Amino acid sequence: MTSQVHISTHPLVQHKMTLLRDQRTDPKKFRELLREMAILIACEATADLATEEVTVMTPLGHASGRRLRERVGLVPILRAGLGMVEGIWNMMPNAEVWHIGLLRDERTLEPVEYYNRLPVSPTVDVCLVLDPMLATGGSAVAAVDILERWGVRRIKFVGVIAAPEGVQRLTTAHPDVPLYLAVVDERLNEVGYIVPGLGDAGDRLFGTG
Protein backbone atom coordinates (compact mmCIF):
# COMPACT_ATOMS: atom_id res chain seq x y z
CA MET A 1 0.00 0.00 0.00
CA THR A 2 1.16 3.51 -0.77
CA SER A 3 0.45 6.84 0.91
CA GLN A 4 -2.39 7.18 -1.60
CA VAL A 5 -4.27 4.37 0.17
CA HIS A 6 -5.72 5.01 3.64
CA ILE A 7 -6.85 1.95 5.60
CA SER A 8 -8.92 2.78 8.68
CA THR A 9 -7.59 1.45 11.99
CA HIS A 10 -10.58 2.65 13.99
CA PRO A 11 -11.87 -0.09 16.33
CA LEU A 12 -15.50 0.60 15.37
CA VAL A 13 -14.68 0.17 11.68
CA GLN A 14 -12.93 -3.12 12.37
CA HIS A 15 -15.79 -4.35 14.54
CA LYS A 16 -18.48 -3.43 12.01
CA MET A 17 -16.42 -4.92 9.17
CA THR A 18 -16.53 -8.29 10.91
CA LEU A 19 -20.31 -8.11 11.23
CA LEU A 20 -20.64 -6.98 7.61
CA ARG A 21 -18.70 -10.02 6.38
CA ASP A 22 -20.77 -12.52 8.37
CA GLN A 23 -23.09 -14.46 6.04
CA ARG A 24 -25.65 -14.61 8.85
CA THR A 25 -26.12 -10.82 8.76
CA ASP A 26 -29.53 -10.14 7.23
CA PRO A 27 -30.19 -7.36 4.66
CA LYS A 28 -31.67 -4.95 7.23
CA LYS A 29 -28.63 -5.24 9.49
CA PHE A 30 -26.30 -5.15 6.47
CA ARG A 31 -27.81 -1.83 5.38
CA GLU A 32 -27.42 -0.39 8.88
CA LEU A 33 -23.80 -1.50 9.13
CA LEU A 34 -22.92 -0.17 5.69
CA ARG A 35 -24.50 3.19 6.50
CA GLU A 36 -22.57 3.42 9.77
CA MET A 37 -19.27 2.40 8.19
CA ALA A 38 -19.75 4.95 5.41
CA ILE A 39 -20.02 7.71 8.04
CA LEU A 40 -16.89 6.57 9.87
CA ILE A 41 -14.77 6.23 6.74
CA ALA A 42 -16.10 9.48 5.25
CA CYS A 43 -15.02 11.31 8.41
CA GLU A 44 -11.46 10.26 7.65
CA ALA A 45 -11.82 11.11 3.95
CA THR A 46 -13.05 14.64 4.68
CA ALA A 47 -10.54 15.58 7.36
CA ASP A 48 -8.75 17.98 5.01
CA LEU A 49 -11.76 19.87 3.64
CA ALA A 50 -11.17 23.62 3.54
CA THR A 51 -13.00 25.75 6.11
CA GLU A 52 -13.39 29.43 6.84
CA GLU A 53 -13.68 31.31 10.13
CA VAL A 54 -17.10 32.61 11.15
CA THR A 55 -18.68 34.13 14.26
CA VAL A 56 -22.00 32.95 15.66
CA MET A 57 -24.15 34.15 18.50
CA THR A 58 -24.70 31.64 21.32
CA PRO A 59 -27.30 32.12 24.08
CA LEU A 60 -24.50 33.69 26.14
CA GLY A 61 -22.48 35.67 23.62
CA HIS A 62 -20.35 35.57 20.50
CA ALA A 63 -18.24 32.54 19.58
CA SER A 64 -15.79 32.01 16.77
CA GLY A 65 -15.98 28.84 14.73
CA ARG A 66 -15.38 27.38 11.32
CA ARG A 67 -17.66 26.24 8.47
CA LEU A 68 -17.01 24.32 5.28
CA ARG A 69 -15.82 26.44 2.40
CA GLU A 70 -15.78 23.72 -0.27
CA ARG A 71 -18.84 22.35 -2.02
CA VAL A 72 -18.98 18.56 -1.72
CA GLY A 73 -20.53 16.10 -4.16
CA LEU A 74 -21.44 12.50 -3.32
CA VAL A 75 -21.21 10.21 -6.33
CA PRO A 76 -22.49 6.69 -5.60
CA ILE A 77 -21.75 4.07 -8.22
CA LEU A 78 -25.07 2.29 -8.76
CA ARG A 79 -26.32 0.19 -7.28
CA ALA A 80 -24.30 -0.79 -4.20
CA GLY A 81 -23.00 2.75 -3.71
CA LEU A 82 -26.53 3.84 -2.79
CA GLY A 83 -26.11 2.10 0.56
CA MET A 84 -23.39 4.58 1.52
CA VAL A 85 -25.18 7.81 0.63
CA GLU A 86 -27.71 8.26 3.44
CA GLY A 87 -25.27 8.21 6.33
CA ILE A 88 -22.80 10.62 4.72
CA TRP A 89 -25.61 12.87 3.49
CA ASN A 90 -27.03 13.13 7.01
CA MET A 91 -23.59 14.25 8.15
CA MET A 92 -23.25 16.75 5.25
CA PRO A 93 -26.83 17.71 4.35
CA ASN A 94 -25.71 20.42 1.92
CA ALA A 95 -23.76 17.97 -0.22
CA GLU A 96 -25.01 17.39 -3.76
CA VAL A 97 -25.69 13.81 -4.88
CA TRP A 98 -24.94 12.74 -8.45
CA HIS A 99 -25.48 9.18 -9.65
CA ILE A 100 -23.31 7.25 -12.08
CA GLY A 101 -24.61 3.89 -13.30
CA LEU A 102 -21.93 1.33 -14.15
CA LEU A 103 -22.45 -2.39 -14.46
CA ARG A 104 -19.83 -5.07 -14.90
CA ASP A 105 -19.86 -7.16 -18.05
CA GLU A 106 -19.70 -10.66 -16.57
CA ARG A 107 -17.79 -11.94 -19.60
CA THR A 108 -15.06 -9.29 -19.79
CA LEU A 109 -15.33 -7.97 -16.18
CA GLU A 110 -15.12 -4.46 -17.68
CA PRO A 111 -17.52 -1.63 -16.73
CA VAL A 112 -20.40 -0.55 -18.95
CA GLU A 113 -21.92 2.90 -18.33
CA TYR A 114 -25.72 2.95 -18.41
CA TYR A 115 -26.64 6.10 -16.45
CA ASN A 116 -25.10 9.56 -16.13
CA ARG A 117 -27.04 12.80 -15.52
CA LEU A 118 -24.22 15.15 -14.57
CA PRO A 119 -24.83 18.77 -15.63
CA VAL A 120 -22.64 20.42 -18.26
CA SER A 121 -20.30 22.12 -15.76
CA PRO A 122 -19.15 21.06 -12.27
CA THR A 123 -21.21 22.39 -9.39
CA VAL A 124 -18.92 21.08 -6.62
CA ASP A 125 -15.28 21.41 -5.57
CA VAL A 126 -14.72 17.91 -4.15
CA CYS A 127 -16.33 14.62 -5.18
CA LEU A 128 -16.48 11.51 -3.03
CA VAL A 129 -16.94 8.44 -5.23
CA LEU A 130 -18.88 5.90 -3.16
CA ASP A 131 -18.74 2.15 -3.73
CA PRO A 132 -18.51 -0.42 -0.93
CA MET A 133 -16.42 -2.80 -3.06
CA LEU A 134 -13.29 -2.14 -5.10
CA ALA A 135 -12.84 -5.45 -6.88
CA THR A 136 -11.34 -5.29 -10.37
CA GLY A 137 -11.27 -1.49 -10.13
CA GLY A 138 -12.88 -1.02 -13.53
CA SER A 139 -15.98 0.80 -12.33
CA ALA A 140 -14.02 3.07 -9.99
CA VAL A 141 -11.58 4.04 -12.75
CA ALA A 142 -14.47 4.69 -15.14
CA ALA A 143 -16.29 6.85 -12.55
CA VAL A 144 -13.18 8.94 -11.90
CA ASP A 145 -12.64 9.27 -15.65
CA ILE A 146 -16.17 10.67 -15.99
CA LEU A 147 -15.70 13.13 -13.13
CA GLU A 148 -12.35 14.33 -14.46
CA ARG A 149 -13.88 14.97 -17.88
CA TRP A 150 -16.64 16.86 -16.04
CA GLY A 151 -13.93 19.09 -14.59
CA VAL A 152 -13.96 18.31 -10.86
CA ARG A 153 -10.79 19.57 -9.18
CA ARG A 154 -10.55 17.03 -6.34
CA ILE A 155 -11.79 13.44 -6.29
CA LYS A 156 -11.59 10.85 -3.51
CA PHE A 157 -12.68 7.21 -3.50
CA VAL A 158 -14.54 6.09 -0.39
CA GLY A 159 -15.13 2.36 -0.10
CA VAL A 160 -15.24 -0.44 2.43
CA ILE A 161 -13.49 -3.51 1.09
CA ALA A 162 -10.97 -3.86 -1.74
CA ALA A 163 -8.88 -6.41 -3.57
CA PRO A 164 -5.19 -5.67 -4.26
CA GLU A 165 -5.94 -5.86 -7.99
CA GLY A 166 -8.54 -3.10 -7.74
CA VAL A 167 -6.30 -0.90 -5.61
CA GLN A 168 -3.45 -1.32 -8.09
CA ARG A 169 -5.65 -0.49 -11.07
CA LEU A 170 -7.19 2.64 -9.53
CA THR A 171 -3.96 4.03 -8.09
CA THR A 172 -2.12 3.42 -11.36
CA ALA A 173 -4.82 5.02 -13.51
CA HIS A 174 -5.37 7.94 -11.11
CA PRO A 175 -2.35 8.55 -8.86
CA ASP A 176 -3.89 11.82 -7.63
CA VAL A 177 -7.03 10.16 -6.20
CA PRO A 178 -6.72 9.05 -2.55
CA LEU A 179 -8.50 5.87 -1.46
CA TYR A 180 -10.21 5.48 1.91
CA LEU A 181 -11.07 1.90 2.88
CA ALA A 182 -11.77 -0.38 5.83
CA VAL A 183 -9.75 -3.33 4.56
CA VAL A 184 -7.80 -4.73 1.60
CA ASP A 185 -8.38 -8.47 1.21
CA GLU A 186 -6.29 -11.27 -0.27
CA ARG A 187 -7.23 -11.43 -3.95
CA LEU A 188 -9.88 -11.76 -6.64
CA ASN A 189 -11.19 -15.17 -7.62
CA GLU A 190 -11.60 -16.37 -11.20
CA VAL A 191 -14.95 -14.57 -11.62
CA GLY A 192 -13.81 -11.26 -10.16
CA TYR A 193 -15.13 -11.54 -6.59
CA ILE A 194 -13.10 -10.40 -3.59
CA VAL A 195 -11.78 -13.28 -1.42
CA PRO A 196 -12.62 -13.74 1.43
CA GLY A 197 -14.75 -10.64 0.89
CA LEU A 198 -18.38 -10.46 1.89
CA GLY A 199 -20.18 -11.73 -1.21
CA ASP A 200 -22.06 -9.38 -3.53
CA ALA A 201 -22.66 -6.12 -1.64
CA GLY A 202 -25.56 -5.11 -3.89
CA ASP A 203 -27.37 -8.41 -3.40
CA ARG A 204 -26.85 -8.36 0.35
CA LEU A 205 -27.88 -4.72 0.56
CA PHE A 206 -31.13 -5.13 -1.37
CA GLY A 207 -31.92 -8.74 -0.39
CA THR A 208 -31.63 -10.05 -3.95
CA GLY A 209 -28.90 -12.64 -3.43
d(CA 89, CA 18): 24
d(CA 173, CA 167): 10
Q: Catalytic annotation on 48?
A: no
Q: Catalytic annotation on 171?
A: no
Tell me if 105 sits within 8 A of 126, measured CB to CB: no
Q: Which of 108, 123, 172, 208 is catalytic?
A: 108
Q: Which of 71, 104, 125, 145 is catalytic?
A: 104
d(CA 21, CA 201): 10
Q: Which of 35, 71, 145, 200 is catalytic?
A: 200
Q: Contacts by 106-115 with C-beta closer than 8 Å and gap 24+?
A: 106/191, 109/136, 109/138, 109/192, 110/138, 111/138, 111/139, 111/141, 111/142, 113/142, 113/146, 115/78
Q: Catalytic annotation on 9?
A: no
Q: Which of 35, 71, 145, 203 is catalytic?
A: 203
Q: Catalytic annotation on 55?
A: no
- Known catalytic residues are 104, 108, 200, 203
